[in-house]
Structure 1
Amino acid sequence: MSAILSADDLNDFISPGVACIKPIETLPAERSTDSSNPYEVTTEDKAAASQPRAPAQISLTDCLACSGCVTSAEAVLVSLQSHNEVLTTLDAHPPLSLPWLEHDGTNGYSNGITHTSNGTTNGVNDYHTAEGRLFVASVSPQTRASLAAVFSVSEAEAGNMIAQLLGGPSGLRGGGLHGSDFTWVVDTNVLREACLVAAAEEVSQALTPSARTPTTGSEGALDTTPKQPILTSACPGWICYAEKTHPYILPHLSRLKSPQALTGTLIKSVLCQRFNIAPSQIWHVAIMPCFDKKLEASRSELTSSAWLPDHDLSQGSVRDVDCVITARELLHMAAARNIPFSSLPRTPIPSSQRTPFPDPRLDAFLFPPSRRKNQNPVAGPSGGYLYHILQTCQAQNPGSEISVSRGRNADVMEYSLVRGSETIIKMARFYGFRNIQNLVRRLKPSKISRLPGAKSGASRRPGASGAAGNEGAKDYAYVEVMACPGGCTNGGGQVKVQEVEDVRAAEGTHAVNGDAVISKPGPKEQKEWLARVDEAYFSGSDEESLDGDGDQVMTDNDGPTTNGHAKEDDIVNGISRSYIGDVLSHWSDLTGVDAQRLLYTSYRKVESDVGKKKQSDVERVAGLASSLGGGW
């Protein structure tokens, strides 16, 4: 369990369930070896002296298989997916040797290992083949913004410092048993652009008259089209809440994977194919703003079983994202290796020291020479799904304008695309569980009275009238839903205002740029701190500089990410739809996997046995026999 993940972090606005059945169910049955009289009465002294039970263990996968509670990952005390897990894995496995030989099925080579006629290797790199790992990391822009605010640097400089820690000469490779570090550090903003384009396409298809409505029993399936209003699926806290408590929401959920999940799928599917290595030899850590992302990484749908052929799954499925840590855990990881994070170079790793990704086209896509800034503040701090979709609609409706109005609080916003007096499309943004609960109540199917002569309309509920009621919510074409108030920059794993001084003191930096030292910060100070994180997220330097090799460094750029392959009328908010489409098609061709299996996922209703009468062995056997056509 991470040392920073404790009961003090229970701030997700949902109370945890009172009954967790998984630890009890997974405990082995205790076998009695006592040969004493079975009719003897046991005293308290004898009971106290008996062997204590082993402590119950609970994993994130257990949590996803049970709806006994609806809290997000902050409320689950777990022993996996922490910074200690990252360091332990680096110490346990040496890095795979480079360069590797691409396997073509005939040359007898696989990752530098010569196979003889008896199927054995030449023994030179057996250790690396069996125990070696290829380490890859992905970093979210919200994490970079949090650290940028702490150390008063730009978001791009914070990203360079993270890359230096994970893969630079003064980073993790300087310690540990094998000097292992991360071969590639991917910016999830690159895959986010692919998600934005795919999300706009999904909404466009869902709003066509010929869109197929999910049938009963297929809600949440990968090959179905979500129904209006389409709800964002990038927030795992929100997804977990919907699956466990409001299954009627499943037909509305976007089937699109999150940037974290899509990054994991691309990394493992491509490296597995290009280097002919098992997915288990690729270890991917994601650095994210909230603990809920740990739950997402544990989903059984986001594993190699979704994209590997059946005959390649003999060793079992492997998660696309092996571990998730947060901004605070990243700092703890650096401290555990005695690396002052603030002293790390703020410049990128020189290109001469960078290992190219094994496909030139994907290498240019994942590691462009310059990157765009994050979207403007009106798009929000959670990736800008809604705003990109709205801008895509605007590009298809010349002369239209975007109208924005605030709801009952700052975390509820309504967006309309209008042309004159005509409203073309409406969308909304709901952040924070208090607002989400209002949204799901509005989308709840109306109950029809069974009394003779009763009206067949909706049953009366508070707020079930007008634009704020049931029909008002259904008028939205798309709703961007995020569990955290204020969006992803306010994730539970970000550095909080009360921790800033402790972090700086540990780094030996203390107050920066005249910051006042606050002994007991309150809600006002936290709000001001979040504004600074948002400022770091939305701002960036437009300057370009050169690294030690004379190469252009990773700086912010407002230009389109097209690499010269797009036409001007194809660009929406600086993103070329045709270029993204070509890259995704190339990825599909390279791996031999249909694009739908790579880009989309599924959801399911999670049911619990908590509070239900347990079935006896006789009843279970009778039910099984009946289902097989037999019976008693």
Structure 2
Amino acid sequence: MSAILSADDLNDFISPGVACIKPVETLPAAPPQPSSNEDEVILDGQQPSSSAKANAPAEISLTDCLACSGCVTTAEAVLVSLQSHAEVLSVLDSAPALKVVGPDATGKLAVEGLENEDARLFVASVSPQTRASLAAACGGRRSEQDAGRMLENLLSGSNGLPSGGEWNNGFAWVFDTNVAREATLVLGADEVLGSSTPGVAAPSKPILASSCPGWVCYAEKTHPHVLPHISKVKSPQALMGTLLKTTLSRKLGIPPSRIWHLAVMPCFDKKLEASREELTDEVWEGSGQPGRGVRDVDCVITSKEILMLAESRGLSFFDIPAEPSPARSPAVFPDEKLRHFLSPRKNKDKPPRTAGTSGGLLYHILQAKAAQIPGSEIQINRGRNADVVEYTISLNGEAVFKAARYYGFRNIQNLVRRLKPARPSRMPGGKPFGSARRPTGKSASLDYSYVEVMACPGGCTNGGGQIKVDDPIILERKNFSGKPGPQEQKDWLAEVDEAYFSGPESEAAAENGGRNGDDGGDAAVGGMSHSYIHDTLAHWSEVTGIGLDKLAFTSYREVISDVGKEITDTERVVQLAGKVGGGW
């Protein structure tokens, strides 16, 4: 989302589009705009009011906005617009960066530049969906791995962002969020299969995925009855942010406020996730309760904004070399075991297509459950469309485990309706009514143990922040004679998916290096050792002195939306001021 909204005009109301989450009939009509307004915000397909015809309106597409309860509030829009490529450059150019030097003869690291109170240590993490989108935008000339190296060179190489700006600052480390994803896969499988973490209460069955912030926002605002079902495991973005902030602050002896973490994601909603009060140092270091502390993820930009970030420094992302920068000397990560965990693994198996493009949590849970039941088989049953798929693990023809995949809000609506509890009848002796009173079989979702829920049809490679077929760079490369339609977008998404799943075939026994090696007889699931992940997480907890219940898990709460309510400008300003420091 571009920063087209500001705090100058907080009395606007962005009404829902035709295919929005909540029907338009449930919302009151938008109040007429005073003729004195200088600007008017309209949506795609709407006509500007007569009072604003003389001015050029700012257009916002709901497909690029927040997947909230039926509208995008002003405060949320401003909150998201604060995280942008311009903010990245502003922070980089604000003061000289902190530098990690060493180790010295005793093996200790030191941090230079602490005397400048504005100086910070810069670290970044990049999602595989972003790399796939950028690889496809290269016209098939680059693989996802190539796009990852290009991103690393942009963020930290001598010919990237550090080549410009007042202080020539770059990022000390650029990590792959896939390593955090592996931890969420293991913790998610433990949660579903009954191996709970001390201090963390298991969600109610069926357990619903929590890594999609658009879906979580929708549930918190409109369907609080499903919150007890949502997985408490942090998303890969959130987990990576907590791991970096806690480890670096503890090992280097600097406060988390001196560490600035950038996440590159496929989704605009990830900006809103980064602003949650549950994902700050107030939870893991302060009171243990959500609060307006230091964020674990300071800024989120999307795949599209990477191109804008490069252009702002006078660079073309597509001209950045895919080979490691010879002049780059990355800092030494201060913990050896976590350094091995965060380092990319060579000869790593690419995920199978059946795992999907959203991290493969459902696939991993199915594989882990099937491994517990020798002789079992996984059956797949496609639902009413390609974004609804049901999975059954059966033994000798009898179902022992059921799960499903629900992508896209149209399908999510059907899911939450089935989970809605029955309401008692007001008539004396009347039967309860609602979804929960349906006979078994007509409410199949209640039989699921786990449901992978994602807001975007097709999964995370189709996120709102991804490069689209109608973006100028792709229009130029594709030489379309006219405006690309749905089929062209579908073909483009197939190219992105191909980049996401592509990669060199690896050996059956992957190069271990202490990562997936001898693990006491623990069988790897999908090429991943659960015991290695558990051991690494336990080491992380020991290093930081914080329990895993605070490090790796989060919480949710009902959010009272202000849609249709009379709220003064003063109240909106107070809300916005509170949200700038963390929270919704």
Q: How does 1:375-394 map to 2 (within 5 A)?
A: 375-394=351-370
Say yes or no: does 1:602 pair with 2:579.
no
8 Å CA contact 2:261, 2:298 repeated in 1: yes
Supply the distance in 2 between the matched residues of 1:609 and 1:352 (Cα, whole angstroms): 49
SS at match of 1:525: helix
Supply the distance in 1 between the matched residues of 2:96 and 2:177 (Cα, whole angstroms): 26
Change (3 A) 1:375 1:19: farther
Offset from partner CA, 1:110-147 (integer Å, 9 cap, x none) = 9558xxxxxxxxxxx5643x121100110000000001
Q: How does 1:153-172 map to 2 (within 5 A)?
A: 153-172=142-161
SS at match of 1:391: helix
Q: How does 1:18-97 map to 2 (within 5 A)?
A: 69-71=70-72, 76=77, 78-97=80-99
Say yes or no: does 1:450 pair with 2:426.
yes
Aligned residue number for residue 330 of structure 2: 354
Supply the distance in 1 between the matched residues of 2:99 and 2:563 (Cα, whole angstroms): 50
8 Å CA contact 1:14, 1:71 repeated in 2: no
Supply the distance in 2 between the matched residues of 1:182 and 1:19 (Cα, whole angstroms): 47
Aligned residue number for residue 496 of structure 1: 468
Q: How does 1:209-224 map to 2 (within 5 A)?
A: 223-224=200-201
Aligned residue number for residue 136 of structure 1: 123
Match of 1:524 among 469, 487, 502: 487
- Unaligned 5+ runs, structure 1: 22-62, 114-124, 213-221, 545-555, 616-632
- Report the CA distance between 1:482 and its aligned residue: 0.2
Q: How does 1:106-505 map to 2 (within 5 A)?
A: 111=110, 125=113, 127-128=115-116, 130-151=117-138, 152=140, 153-205=142-194, 223-309=200-286, 317-349=293-325, 353-370=329-346, 372-456=348-432, 458-459=433-434, 467=441, 469-470=442-443, 472-499=444-471, 502-503=472-473
Q: Which amino acid aligns with 1:169?
A: S
- Unaligned 5+ runs, structure 2: 7-13, 32-64, 569-584
Supply the distance in 1 between the matched residues of 2:102 and 2:388 (Cα, whole angstroms): 51
Supply the distance in 1 between the matched residues of 2:21 and 2:466 (Cα, whole angstroms): 19
- Report the CA distance between 1:520 and its aligned residue: 1.1
8 Å CA contact 1:135, 1:184 repeated in 2: yes
Match of 1:534 among 461, 474, 497: 497
Say yes or no: does 1:591 pair with 2:568.
no
User: When the two structures are superposed, what TM-score results if normalisation uses the length of structure 2?
Assistant: 0.80
Q: Which amino acid aligns with 1:157?
A: D
Two-structure CA RMSD over aligned residues (Å): 3.7
Change (3 A) 1:137 1:20: farther
SS at match of 1:98: strand
Supply the distance in 2 between the matched residues of 1:559 and 1:410 (Cα, whole angstroms): 36
User: When the two structures are superposed, what TM-score results if normalisation uses the length of structure 1?
Assistant: 0.75
Identity of aligned residues (%): 51
Change (3 A) 1:85 1:410: same
8 Å CA contact 2:303, 2:466 repeated in 1: yes
- Report the CA distance between 1:348 and its aligned residue: 3.0
- Report the CA distance between 1:90 and its aligned residue: 0.4
Say yes or no: does 1:581 pair with 2:503.
no
Supply the distance in 2 between the matched residues of 1:193 and 1:132 (Cα, whole angstroms): 32
- Report the CA distance between 1:466 and its aligned residue: 6.0
* Larger radius of gyration between Structure 1 and Structure 2: 1
- Report the CA distance between 1:272 and its aligned residue: 0.4
Say yes or no: does 1:564 pair with 2:484.
no
Aligned residue number for residue 58 of structure 2: none
- Report the CA distance between 1:566 and its aligned residue: 2.6
Q: Which amino acid aligns with 1:95?
A: A
SS at match of 2:467: coil
8 Å CA contact 1:2, 1:84 repeated in 2: no
